[in-house]
Amino acid sequence: MAITLTAAVLVYLVRLGRPMPAARVVIVGAGLVPVMCPMLLAAGVFEITMWNPDDHARAPIERVTRDADAVVNLLGEPMLIRGALDRPAGSIIGRSVQTTS
């Protein structure tokens, strides 16, 4: 799963024209696939935020994902639906609810 999702993030960032060192990626549910962060680092993505549901009180998901180039949703829950409405198509990667405008 980590390999597939890392590849999907990299393809999305290339299509976006975003240089890997300048890209910002948020991993929602990072504790479920802990190897995902090192894989993104090895690929040249250095600004990575790892968010887990326990972090919501300190940092609400809407705030954490606001300026991210890509969001990887490992939770498989539609919890990103509010944030998905304001995000570019394809920027939420993983098992998430996608909406189109």
Q: What is the pLDDT of residue 24?
A: 96
d(CA 84, CA 100): 9
Q: Which two tokens stand for residue 88?
A: 């570019």
Q: Which two tokens stand for residue 84?
A: 């998905």
Per-residue pLDDT of the chain (101 residues; tens, 9 = 90+): 899 999 999 999 999 999 999 999 999 999 999 999 999 999 999 999 999 988 888 888 888 888 899 999 888 776 555 656 667 777 888 864 444 44
